[in-house]
Amino acid sequence: MEHDTIAVIDFGGQYAHLIATKVRRQGVLAEIRQPEDPIETFSPYKGIIISGSPSLSSHGEASGYTKAIYDLDVPIVGFCFGHQEIAKHYGGTVVHGGREWGRANLHLSQEHSLFKGLGPVEQVWMSHYDSVTGIGADFQELGYTATAEGAEGHRYAAIGSDSLKRYGLQFHPEVDDTIHGDQIIANFIFEICGCRPSWTMEGFIDEEQAKIRAQVGDRSVFLLASGGVDSTVAAVIIGQALGPERLQLLHIDNGLMRKDESRQVLELFGELGLDENLHFVDAGDTFLRALHGVIDPEEKRNIIGETFIRVFQDAAKRLGIETHLLAQGTIYPDTIETGATKRADTIKTHHNRIPLIQQMIAEGNVVEPLVELYKVEVRELGERLGIPHHVLWRHPFPGPGLGVRLLCNDGVADDTGLDAVESQLRELGRRFELEALPLPIRSVGVKADLRAYEHPVLLSGNASWSTLLEAASTITADVPGINRCIWNLAPTAPRTVRPLAATVTRERLDLLREADHLVTEALIRHDLYDKVWQCPTVLVPLEFDEGAGELVVVRPVHSQRAMTASPVEFPGALVEDLRKSILALPGISGLALDITSKPPGTIEWE
Least spacing, CB of residue 352 vs ligand XMP, in Å: 7
351 binds ligand XMP (CB under 6 A): yes
Q: Which of 25, 33, 155, 350 binds ligand XMP (CB under 6 A)?
A: 350
**Residue 284 or 396 having the CB closest to ligand XMP:** 396
In this chain, which of 100, 449, 577, 604 binds ligand XMP, going by CB under 6 A?
A: 604
Residue closest to 440 by CA, chosen among 486, 500, 490, 505: 500
Among 399, 438, 440, 567, contact with ligand XMP (rule: CB under 6 A) = 399
Among residues 6 and 256, whose Cβ is nearest to ligand XMP? Answer: 256
Q: How far apart are alpha carbons 157 and 169 in whole angstroms?
A: 6
Instruction: Figure out which of the listed residues 170, 328, 534, 537 binds ligand XMP, where binding follows CB under 6 A.
Output: 534
If one asks whether residue 255 binds ligand XMP (CB under 6 A), the answer comes out as no
Minimum CB separation of residue 393 from ligand XMP in Å reads: 14
- 582 contributes a contact to ligand XMP by CB under 6 A: no
Instruction: Note whether 512 binds ligand XMP by CB under 6 A.
Output: no
- Of 49 and 268, the one with the shorter C-beta distance to ligand XMP is 268
Closest listed residue to residue 457, CA positions, set 177, 473, 388, 448: 473
Omega cis (within 30) before 44: no
Q: Which of 337, 267, 349 is nearest to 306 (CA)?
A: 349
Q: Which is nearer to ligand XMP, 103 or 112 (CB)?
A: 103
In terms of CB distance, is 75 or 228 closer to ligand XMP? 228
Please give the DSSP secondary-structure letter assigned to residue 580: H
CB of 566 to ligand XMP, least distance (A): 12
Is 508 a binding residue for ligand XMP by CB under 6 A? The answer is no
Closest distance between ligand XMP and the C-beta of residue 445, in Å?
9
Chain-centre distance of CA 540, in angstroms? 21
337 binds ligand XMP (CB under 6 A): yes
> Catalytic one among 17, 128, 154, 172?
172
Phi, psi of 49 (to 5 degrees): -115, 125
Binding mask 273-312 for ligand XMP (x = CB under 6 A): ----------------------------x-----------
Nearer to ligand XMP by Cβ, of 122 and 604: the residue is 604
Binding string, residues 425-464; x marks residues near ligand XMP by CB under 6 A: ----------------------------------------
Q: In terms of CB distance, is 374 or 570 closer to ligand XMP?
A: 374
377 contributes a contact to ligand XMP by CB under 6 A: no
Write the CB contacts of 249 (distance below 8 Å, at least 6 apart in sequence): 222, 223, 225, 235, 269, 274, 275, 277, 278, 279
Residues in contact with 165: Cβ distance below 8 Å, sequence separation at least 6, in sequence order:
74, 75, 76, 192
Q: Assess whether 80 carries a catalytic annotation.
A: yes
The secondary structure of 227-252 as a DSSP string is SSHHHHHHHHHHHHHH-GGGEEEEEE
3-state secondary structure 358-413: HHHHHCCCEECCCCCCCHHHHHHHHHHCCCCHHHHCCCCCCCCCHHHHECCEECCC
Contact with ligand XMP (CB under 6 A) among 396, 417, 461, 587: 396
Q: Which of 327, 338, 360 is nearest to 226 (CA)?
A: 327
Nearest Cα to Cα of residue 556 among 540, 538, 541: 538
Among candidate residues 85, 100, 122, 174, the one labeled active-site is 174
Q: Which of 17, 80, 83, 180 is catalytic?
A: 80
With binding defined as CB under 6 A, does residue 400 bind ligand XMP? yes
Q: Does 562 bind ligand XMP (CB under 6 A)?
A: yes
Amino acid letter, 381? L
For ligand XMP, the closer of residues 297 and 590 by Cβ is 297
- Determine the Cα–Cα distance for residues 207 and 262; give it in Å rounded to an integer: 33
- List residues bridging with 593 in a β-sheet: 487, 554
3-state SS string for 191-228: HHCCCCCCCCHHHHHHHHHHHHHHHHCCCCEEEECCCC
Scanning 313-321, 399-407, 451-459, 481-489 for contacts with ligand XMP by CB under 6 A, the matching segment is: 399-407
Q: Find out whether 244 and 272 touch, Cβ atoms under 8 Å.
A: no
Query: Residues 581, 517: contact at Cβ < 8 Å?
Result: no
| Positions marked catalytic | 80, 172, 174
Would you tell me which residues interact with ligand XMP (CB under 6 A)?
301, 333-334, 337, 350-351, 396, 398-400, 404, 534, 562, 598, 602-604
